[in-house]
Amino acid sequence: MSVEEVDSFERFALAEPVLRAVRDVGYEQPSPIQAQAIPPLLEGRDLLGQAQTGTGKTAAFALPLLSRLDLTRRVPQLLVLAPTRELAIQVAEATKTYARHLPDFHVLPVYGGQGMGAQLRGLSRGAHVVVGTPGRILDHLRRGTLVLGGLVAVVLDEADEMLRMGFIEDVEAILAATPQGRQTALFSATMPREVHRIAQSYLRDPVEIRIESRTTTVEAIRQRYWQVRDLHKLDALTRILEGEDFDAMIVFVRTRTETTGLAEKLEARGYDAAPLSGDMQQAERERTVDRLRQGRLDILVATDVAARGLDVPRISHVVNYDIPTDTEAYVHRIGRTGRAGRKGEAILFVSPREKRMLYAIERATGQRIEPMQLPSREDIADRRIDRFKGLITETIETAELDFFEALVADYQRAHDVGLSEIAAALAYLLQREQPLVVDGAAARVDAHPAEPVRAEAAESAPRPRQRREGAPPAQPRSEGAPAERPRRERRPGPEVPMERYRIEVGREHGVQPKNIVGAIANEAGLESRYIGRIEINDDHTLLDLPEGMPKEVFKHLKTVWVCGRQLRINRAAEPGGHRRRSED
């Protein structure tokens, strides 16, 4: 779908402060029920809306009805009836958010179980909007503490629930106490006969809206959900990132603000993540998607609009971090994976309140979404250990090890220790920044009383991109990684796996090792001791640099000038193709 087809809130005749609040919240576009309900409600029409939980009904009625308030009259003009105290509070809070730029606006939640005193005080101060459960509202009406003579509109939210909870008589009594000419909107997930009867008796010529769940099949995609419980969604996502085999991932959130927020949190945890939202310039969005396509980025945190139509075959996983507002959006979202004949994985985070949306999605897609367990700490440790062993095997098979073997033998002779002890020490060094044992037990082995940390961080401050040399990219830092480095920071020299590079400046350009070391140390933010053997030839130079140079640094080094030549750095022919994968 093209950008022109994206719907927007601006097309509605909403009051300017209300529109501004929507922009603040960061909704990109109206949900289907909002798109259909806002115009008639703005015109003052009655409305009968059938839609599942989580489809955005609150904004569907609050935005237009708030736009119609006369703020100079501090009497209840809008009454919202909700089945439970929690829902009443939620609606009141959402209303407050949508009304934040309306001067001197007041909303009052009124529900059972709350002291009468506060409610009475609130009522006597006057509120433009009253949100409450039917029982308590009726109480106040009967006591004369709530007067609805100035009411302009009534909303019956989740009418089927109110019916189920035995509130229908109360609702009818309340409606009878409101002015004849009021506007009425009724929302319900289902339309039992009784609710329909209410609609027929109390709504005048209503606009009827039904948000259909469309059937679409998505067979190449395995769909799972995780029930949000004690763990935070961010921690759950981190576990998934580590426990699942993924190539590239899209994480869907609801608002633009969240795209940047979550992307930053993931970056802080060591992942290559970036936001993708409608806020970004078209060119910037394209650049971001290109980076994902080329594997320079592994995770996009996106909104529905921004990710629409995105076609990147690498995307193996879609995570619905926030549940979508309609089933169709879900189908669009998960359709970003399982492309080009590949298999895809879709994971949905569902809070208890959102269960109904989960069922609606299952109905709409005609497929079951299986519950999933998050990978446990042990699973994650096992995976790290497996990857680690795999790395050893691969290195033995593919890397040039002669030099290192000599080094180890030399060390063994000089120190009279066993090979297994040396190997263990090397393994320890390698896993230090991401301990194999998740709770950090392995890291404690060498936990000496902290010594002042070397000026490592300060030295590395001017690095063009903050990533440690010699570390594979896309390598998450673990939750349990030790904050301080162990003591005995030895000269890194040969323990850092090196890679051979070629630069296009040589003897005939008058280059000397110090020029090369200087340029590379400065421009790549490497300490010079990490720069290995330098072999200057006539028209080019070969040199060893730590393995796993970040792509940005690599790209930058290509453009650096030394002795009047651009380095145009490249990996020299690789012995045996010892390649990193983003997974290990």
Residue ranges binding Mg ion (CB under 5 A): 57
550 binds, among ligand ADP, Mg ion, none (CB under 5 to 8 A by kind): none
Q: Which is nearer to ligand ADP, 191 or 220 (CB)?
A: 191
Residue ranges binding ligand ADP (CB under 6 A): 27, 30-31, 34, 53-59, 254, 325
Task: List CB contacts of 13: < 8 A, sequence separation 6 or more.
Answer: 42, 67
320 binds, among ligand ADP, Mg ion, none (CB under 5 to 8 A by kind): none
Q: How far is the CB of 82 from Mg ion (least distance, A)?
A: 8
Contact criterion met (CB below 8 Å) for 126 and 156:
no
271 binds, among ligand ADP, Mg ion, none (CB under 5 to 8 A by kind): none
Task: List CB contacts of 477: < 8 A, sequence separation 6 or more.
Answer: 269, 270, 433, 434
Q: How far is the CB of 153 from ligand ADP (least distance, A)?
A: 17
Contact criterion met (CB below 8 Å) for 302 and 251:
yes
Q: Which is nearer to Mg ion, 57 or 285 (CB)?
A: 57
Task: List CB contacts of 35: < 8 A, sequence separation 6 or more.
Answer: 7
Rounded to whole angstroms, the Cα distance separating 298 from 193 reads: 50
Q: Which is nearer to Mg ion, 57 or 96 (CB)?
A: 57
27 binds, among ligand ADP, Mg ion, none (CB under 5 to 8 A by kind): ligand ADP
Longest CA pairwise span in the chain (Å):
99
Q: Which is nearer to ligand ADP, 171 or 443 (CB)?
A: 171
Q: In this chain, which residue has its C-beta nearest to Mg ion?
A: 57
Rounded to whole angstroms, the Cα distance separating 183 from 160 reads: 20
* Residue whose C-alpha is closest to residue 364's, from 216, 191, 219: 216
* Residue whose C-alpha is closest to residue 251's, from 214, 293, 326, 306: 306
Q: How far is the CB of 55 from Mg ion (least distance, A)?
A: 8
Q: How far is the CB of 64 from Mg ion (least distance, A)?
A: 16
Q: Which is nearer to ligand ADP, 59 or 567 (CB)?
A: 59
In whole angstroms, what separates CA 383 from the centre of its chain? 24
- Write down the number of H helices and E strands in the chain: 22, 20
55 binds, among Mg ion, ligand ADP, none (CB under 5 to 8 A by kind): ligand ADP
Rounded to whole angstroms, the Cα distance separating 544 from 531 reads: 6
Q: Which is nearer to ligand ADP, 359 or 428 (CB)?
A: 359
140 binds, among ligand ADP, Mg ion, none (CB under 5 to 8 A by kind): none
Q: How far is the CB of 236 from ligand ADP (least distance, A)?
A: 18
Q: Which is nearer to ligand ADP, 57 or 128 (CB)?
A: 57
- Beta-bridge partner residues of 571: 501
**H helical segments located in 294-440:** 304-307, 327-334, 355-365, 377-398, 402-415, 419-431
Q: How far is the CB of 223 from ligand ADP (least distance, A)?
A: 21
Q: How far is the CB of 35 from ligand ADP (least distance, A)?
A: 9
Report CA torsion sign: 458, 462, 467, 468.
negative
Q: Which residue has the tokens 């001017």?
A: 462
Q: Which is nearer to Mg ion, 57 or 256 (CB)?
A: 57
56 binds, among Mg ion, ligand ADP, none (CB under 5 to 8 A by kind): ligand ADP
238 binds, among ligand ADP, Mg ion, none (CB under 5 to 8 A by kind): none
